[in-house]
Chains A and B, each alone.
Chain A
Amino acid sequence: MTEVSKRRFLYGMGLGLGALTVPSHLMAQEAPIKIGTSMALSGPLASGGRQSQLSLQMWAEDVNARGGLLGRKVEIVAYDDQGNPAQSPGIFSKLVDLDKVDLLIAPYGTVPAAAIMPSAKERRLLVIGHIGYQINSKAKHDMWFNNSPWSDAESWVGGYFRLGTQAGVKKVAFLAADQEFSQNILAGAKTLSKSSGFETVYEQSYPPTTVDFSAMIRAIRAAAPDMVFVASYPADSTAIIRAVNEIGVGSSVKLFGGAMVGLQYASVMQTLGSQLNGVVNYHTYAPERTMAFPGIRDFLDRFSKRASGANVETLGYYVAPFAYASAQILERAVTATKSLKHDVLADYLRKHEVSTIVGPIRWGPDGEWANPRVVMVQFRDVKDNDLEQFRQEGKQVIVEPKEFRTGEFVSFQQARKR
């Protein structure tokens, strides 16, 4: 054997022996576990969609830094569905059939998510819901598990009507956007109002193209209700609060708000500032001591830093932690069962509670939270042009439900005078 050949032989032996000492999962780099989803990265739902994508990416980075899942890296495969229900079913077919993803998270938002349910049920796919309302009410898919802290309308706005009863409300006014989500909430709210014995003195549904709400606020003032229930979308919510501040809603009103989407967003809260004082509105998370779930503060700190560089909502209270939690749900089920089979994972989730950064979650038979936890927050002592104040306790005081309460409800007019 020549000198060169000997060297080559020893070199080859060395490589071979070295390889034997390396763990098998590192030796043959296994393909990553793919988690597929479609998100509204453009269009009217894009603010929430982009937060969700960033949160999922952060989860993937966290898991990979810990060595992956089942010894494999994880990878998020996400496409833009524009919040459009015509897009999401096609994207989900592509995720399953072409991208061969291992696990699925539903699109962000009710309408695009509802569109994938018939196919998911037919193909027996496990789907983790992400901020959607009553998506599984028609499909009744037994492999659906929602990450959102509500089930029906009672769970969403029941706290608002309990506050109404507590405040001695007799007359109620309703104002709602003429869109599916708001109308569903409105229907539930009217049922609750009826069962609470309230008299409806004004009801108005407005089209999504409405620019100015002065006329509606004037009409509400003329009807002199004790309580105003509003189910609105972000741009409307800002315009409504602004109109209330300009026109005045009347001294009879003790409770104003309910289901106003947008009042949870940093940009809207910063814009409206002190005009928010006294408003009581639903929320999924508020930085109050009763909601300091393990890991959430750390997540929100990290999210805030990443979001500011990515033109994404910086507070991230409403949607972002729930996106992270949806991936944690999958992580827990996969780790516990050591399986990627959808029926095995679904069976685990049916029987077990899962700890997430938005608290422990257990599901009912319909795949919604067994113990819903929408909180009603009241804006208090909010100042103008100060986003940082919303990171402090006491600005969004939780007034319902009792187990998360951090302060007593104060009537709308009284809270505005403080």
Chain B
Amino acid sequence: MISLDLVFEAIVFGVLVGCFYGALSLGLSISFGLLDVPHIAHAAFLVLAAYMVFLLGTYGFDPLVAGLIIILPFFIFGVLVYRLYYEAFEKRGADAGVRGIAFFFGIAFIVQVFLSMTFGLDQRTATATYIGNSFAIGEMRLPWRLIVALLVAVGATLILKLYLSNTLQGRAIRAVAQDAWALRIVGINPVLTKQWAFGLATAVAAIGGTLLIIVSPVEPSLDRIYIGRTFCVVVLAGLGSVTGALVAGIILGVIESLVLTMFGASWAPAVAYGLLLLVLGIRPQGLFGR
């Protein structure tokens, strides 16, 4: 018989892990959700960012500070990747999506090989006072690394939401996937807008990658674990909904945690992805999609 305390703890841990999932998916909710770019290299970018944080850590930087430092380089990296994708595929027309998948698969593979050759295959971790310690509330002990993930996820989501809703550039990003031609009529270049937005998505992925190495060890092929989860969160949320990604992440995290506690760990992924299918059957546009 499972005690109520254990169920309550499972929900609390589910929320913490879910916020982590949400933070990992934020960048993808822009690149795939808003821009329709088949960015299957997103998880590889997360791992790349995690390794950059590790690298800066060897020079004494705290992981969170290192995460802030890499935001700008990742923004530039994202702009360059999108430009390459646009010139080679998107500009040329109808089958850009299918060929784009091959392009981003190739990018992901290159990132993985680059990391293997540069850092080796051993797992890498970050060190900080909030990694490996916990915060006690009565009998319950909450890992600081997950609390940090929750705070960063909520903060990043709010900032991104405000940016996309209240700035001209943000509104242009939301409009570009819906009607690029209309954007052109009001004097905004849709290609440059998408390029900027993809840079933004990659910068947000840098924040996700920072949390990745704070929460768990990383190794070059770790992207295979997160590629399914991040797409699941974005689709469950509804394409393009940034706050929805955080809520969908929490739903996924809580369900995984409850199923794991009550029925066993092996059932957790099956039930979580089963929920995705169920939601899409009832609401094809996702929970928060329009």
Residues of A within 8 A of B (CB): 42-44, 46-47, 50, 178, 204-212, 214-216, 218-219, 222, 234-235, 238-239, 242-243, 245-248, 262, 265-268, 271, 275, 311-313, 385
Contacts and interface: CB of A to CB of B under 8 A. Distances in A.
Interface in B255-289: 257, 260-261, 264-266, 268-269
Nearest to A245: B132
B108 to A, nearest CB: 14
Contacts of B215: 211-212
Contacts of B222: 235
Contacts of B9: 215, 218
Given A246-B141, A268-B123, A215 B221 contact: no
8 contacts: A42-B116, A214-B13, A216-B265, A218-B9, A235-B216, A242-B131, A271-B123, A311-B121
A42 B117 CA distance: 10
A206 B265 contact: yes
A313 B124 CA distance: 12
Nearest to B260: A215
Contacts of B6: 218-219, 222
Nearest to A208: B225
Interface of B: 3, 6, 9-10, 13, 17, 20, 113, 116-125, 127, 131-134, 141, 143-146, 215-217, 219, 221-222, 225, 228-229, 257, 260-261, 264-266, 268-269
A212 B24 CA distance: 15
A210 B265 CA distance: 8
A211 B226 CA distance: 9
A44 to B, nearest CB: 6
A210 B118 CA distance: 26
Q: Is the interface of B mostly helix, strand, loop or mixed?
A: helix
A215 B266 contact: no
A215 B10 contact: yes
A278 to B, nearest CB: 15
Contact of A385 (B3, B17, B127, B131): B127
Nearest to B141: A247
Contacts of A219: 6, 261
B217 A43 contact: no
Given A209-B269, A239-B216, A247 B264 contact: no
B121 A235 contact: no
Tell which of A206, A211, A271 has the most Cβ of chain B within 10 Å. Answer: A211
A266 B122 CA distance: 9
Nearest to A218: B9
A205 B216 CA distance: 19
Contact of A47 (B121, B225, B228): B121
B143 A214 contact: yes
B217 A50 contact: no
A214 B266 CA distance: 15
B219 A235 contact: yes
Given A204-B264, A218-B9, A243-B143, 5 more contacts: A178-B266, A218-B6, A239-B216, A245-B133, A246-B143
B143 A267 contact: no
- The 8 A-B pairs at the shortest CB distance, nearest first, are namely A311-B120, A267-B122, A206-B265, A246-B134, A246-B143, A46-B121, A47-B121, A271-B125
Contacts of A271: 123-125, 217
Contact of B225 (A46, A211, A234, A275): A211
A238 B268 CA distance: 21
A47 B118 CA distance: 14
Given A207-B269, A222-B6, A246-B141, A312 B134 contact: no
B264 A205 contact: yes
B141 A239 contact: no
Contact of A222 (B3, B125, B146): B3
B122 A265 contact: yes
A62 B218 CA distance: 36
Nearest to A44: B221
Given A209-B269, A211-B215, A235 B123 contact: yes
Nearest to B265: A206
A8 B13 CA distance: 90
B143 A207 contact: no
Given A46-B121, A204-B264, A239 B143 contact: no
B221 to A, nearest CB: 6
A235 B217 contact: yes
A212 B133 contact: no
A208 B226 CA distance: 12
B257 A46 contact: no
Contacts of A311: 117-121
A207 B127 contact: no
A205 B266 contact: yes
Contacts of B13: 212, 214-215, 218
Contact of A215 (B123, B141, B219, B257): B257
Contacts of B119: 311
Nearest to A212: B17
Given A205-B266, A234-B123, A271-B123, A247 B134 contact: yes
Tell which of B116, B125, B127, B217 has the most Cβ of chain A within 10 Å. Answer: B217
